[in-house]
Chain A
Amino acid sequence: MIDTRDKILDTNSESLDVAAIRRDFPILDEVENGQKVAYLDNGASSQRPEQVINAMLEYYHKYNANIHRGVYRWSEEATRGYEGAHRKVARFINAYSPREVIFTRNTTESLNLVAYAWGRANVREGDEIVSTVIEHHSNLVPWQILAAEKKATLRYIPMTKTGQLDISDLNTIVNEKTKLVAFTHMSNVLGAISPVDAIVKRAKEVGAVVVIDGAQSAPHMPVDVQALGCDFYAFSGHKMLGPTGIGVLWGRRAILEEMPPFITGGDMIRDVTLARSTWNDLPWKFEGGTPSIAEGIGLGAAVDYLSKLGMDKVRQHEIELTAYALEQMAGIPDLTIYGPTDPATRGGIISFNLGDVHPHDLATMLDREAIAVRAGHHCCQPLIELLEATATTRASFYIYNTPEEVDRLVAALHKARKVFHLD
């Protein structure tokens, strides 16, 4: 795989110019235990480039004010920045209109918005909701609560041995009773990319609404919500170079118009009398209260940054890096790697276990080598159970990661075999 390694490093190729990208992320020069930190926990949260940090600083330094209220310049500029970020996000995911882009706090809130606002109004006793066994708790618990509240049945799409969604029984699981199908675009544990087309096609045959959890896909691959054919698509700013505290729910306009609001109060109303209230236009109808203004502006800057790089190139870089990592890691004795093996069908997320070493202990040892990974159940307890593991260690890549960092991970895993007496 020397080829792959060289290709990633070759700045003249079609790939990302990783060296230039790294200069935008001063945090990557931070040193721990005498080494630069190899940040391989992007699945949990990414780093933010100077461009994003500066956009937020500029708001605080030059025009900090609440939006949609003041008629003075600061407030107008803040409103323009915050609303403009909706437009940027709309372009980024090819939404039909920025009105379909709702800013939330994160993926979790976006999915809860669907469960509470759409779910409560549309799911009835005896209906069925479909999720999958590989979901993040955020795309599972809201449906459990909705199903219990409405006396609906929650069914799950299972997983194949190789860690892909098993759609062989799809026509039974998704049936005439199904009102909603919710699944992840990319598994945050296995990296597997879901068979979106097949699931959407079946859901549409039975008239079910489709919710896609895009927390791991929006940051890492080109996403076109119209082409996906879903009805809702949720993701988080902090996993895609943006700040924490800002997330997105995209929804089809016709559905959003029909839906009752979720969080009610200020900013989301048109008229309020003591007897009743009417709702503001989309998307403000779903953005009750003063939103995360600086964070919204920061997300806009993050989307600008990614768009400038090109999401095709982002995806290509991660395919190459993942291929290289899988190849190198295959040579480590006692290492179990979970999930699909073909880099074309997965993202840059690699979950593994080294012998019977507890992932926490392994991650602590890697931390001493200045390698940041995640260890635990990754908020996917049902999936971890299916893998017959108690937890996994997970390395996840992004635009600034390099083959050298993969080499460091691999060397540290070889060393871990000695420390934990596996050899």
Chain B
Amino acid sequence: MPGETVRDDLEMEYVLELAAAFDKQMRGHVVQNPDITFEDSNPLCGDKFKVSLKLNEDGEIEDVGFTGRGCAISRASAMVLIDEIQGHSYKDVDEVTRDMLIDELGIEINSAVRLKCAGLALRTVKTGLQKSGYKVTNAEEEDWAETD
């Protein structure tokens, strides 16, 4: 099915572009005096992200940094996430869902394993905020949503 193949290649193309943008932006990027650092991993594959966040007095996220390792989908969705939350109030993080990130990537993901990849950065940020006392909804709920 040649039509299928072309679509797959193009789909992957955008994800790879976003992943490359993420790599470029994060390379050597250090968040100065972060208010929050938190590491989370995907237990299914061992991929890891450590997020650093700098917030100002109004609760706006001034700077976001990620280190760690991840597949193209997890890095691409992290790139989309950074664009969504940088310069916004931490409260806005609540508005971001994994499904929104996947929509932005322009791919269809129906494997539970890959859904976890797409949600890793978001989960890391939400849990990091939560553990530091910021009120955001529990990201782990989303892990169960896919069993509905």
Chain A positions near chain B (C-beta within 8 angstroms) = 33-34, 358-361, 364-365, 367-368, 375-377, 381, 384, 390-391, 415, 418-421
Contact = CB atoms under 8 A, between A and B. Distances in A.
A57 B113 CA distance: 31
21 contacts: A33-B1, A33-B4, A358-B72, A359-B45, A360-B45, A360-B113, A360-B114, A360-B117, A361-B12, A361-B72, A367-B111, A376-B44, A376-B46, A377-B46, A381-B46, A390-B47, A390-B69, A391-B46, A415-B5, A420-B12, A420-B16
A134 B117 CA distance: 26
Given A358-B71, A361-B71, A390-B69, A375 B111 contact: no
Main secondary structure of the interface of B (DSSP, over half): helix
Interface residues of B, number: 20
A361 B4 CA distance: 17
Interface in B33-57: 44-47
Interface string B6-18: 0011001000100
A391 B45 contact: yes
B119 interface: no
A420 B1 CA distance: 20
Nearest to A364: B114
- Residues of A contacting B: mostly: helix
A365 B46 contact: no
B70 to A, nearest CB: 7
A361 B16 CA distance: 10
Question: Which of B9, B16, B46: most chain A CB closer than 10 A?
Answer: B46
B8 A368 contact: yes
Centre residue among A33, A384, A418 by max chain B CB count within 10 A: A33
A356 to B, nearest CB: 11
Given A33-B1, A415-B5, 14 more contacts: A358-B72, A359-B71, A360-B114, A361-B12, A364-B73, A368-B8, A375-B45, A381-B46, A384-B46, A390-B46, A390-B69, A391-B47, A419-B12, A420-B12
Contacts of B12: 361, 365, 419-420
Given A361-B73, A364-B114, A419-B9, A377 B4 contact: no
A33 B47 CA distance: 28
B108 to A, nearest CB: 10
Most buried by A among B4, B44, B70, B72: B72
A265 B12 CA distance: 54
Given A34-B4, A365-B12, A360 B46 contact: no
